[in-house]
Amino acid sequence: MLERRNHQGKFAEDYVRALASAAGLLIFKDDLDHDGVDLGFKYPGRGGLVASPAIEVQVKSWSRPVVRGSELVFRGLSETQYNKLVDGPFLVPRYLFVVVVPADRERYVRVDTEGLLLSKLCYYRGFDGDEPIAEPDAKRHPELRMPLGNVLTVRALRELVGAPAA
């Protein structure tokens, strides 16, 4: 069995992959994680004036979420990782996806007569208007706020990519 952190991270990526599959999107992955991007999603058609609209994402998992008011307060990116999502401009928009998972990995998935349930939820955050950190340190972790309303659903993922409504 995978070590706990690797297992949690793999589940988070697979969770997001399942949503993308349900949304009818193509998934792409760089051959090396050098640019702060774990996965990309592309609509295989025309989204408005753009052919094959796409986004790139950093996927993180989190088993002990911190909530303040109506926001998640996430400190799981280093300043260096943060800058890779913020310091554009980028031709393809970048997002952070945070999959909140159960602390007990035996509860990641439940199968019953209705089907398969993936636990718990994925939240997303864009970086429009955010400024990069001037002298980033890989040991420091900025506080990122994510609205609890930014739940990644099939519809939300299609909208982020720029795909037409299903």
Mean pLDDT of residues grouped by 10 in the chain (166 residues)? 92 98 97 91 94 97 97 98 96 97 95 94 96 97 98 98 90
Instruction: Output the pLDDT for position 1.
Output: 84
Instruction: Output the pLDDT for position 20.
Output: 98
**Tokens 């299609």 sit at which residue?**
158
Instruction: Output the pLDDT for position 53.
Output: 97
Instruction: Output the pLDDT for position 32.
Output: 85
Instruction: Output the pLDDT for position 166.
Output: 75
Alpha helix (H) ranges present in the chain?
4-22, 79-86, 154-161
pTM of the model as a whole = 0.96
In three-state secondary structure terms, 1 is coil
> Which of these, 43, 39, 35, lies nearest to 17 by C-alpha position?
39
Instruction: Output the pLDDT for position 76.
Output: 97
What is the arrangement of strands in the sheet containing 144-147, beginning at the earlier edge strand? 67-68, 71-74, 144-147
CATH 1.10.287 fits 4-161, yes or no: no
Instruction: Output the pLDDT for position 165.
Output: 86
Strand-pair category, 54-62 with 94-100: parallel
Backbone angles phi, psi at 157, to 5 degrees: -65, -45
Instruction: Output the pLDDT for position 14.
Output: 97
Strand partners, 72: 67, 146
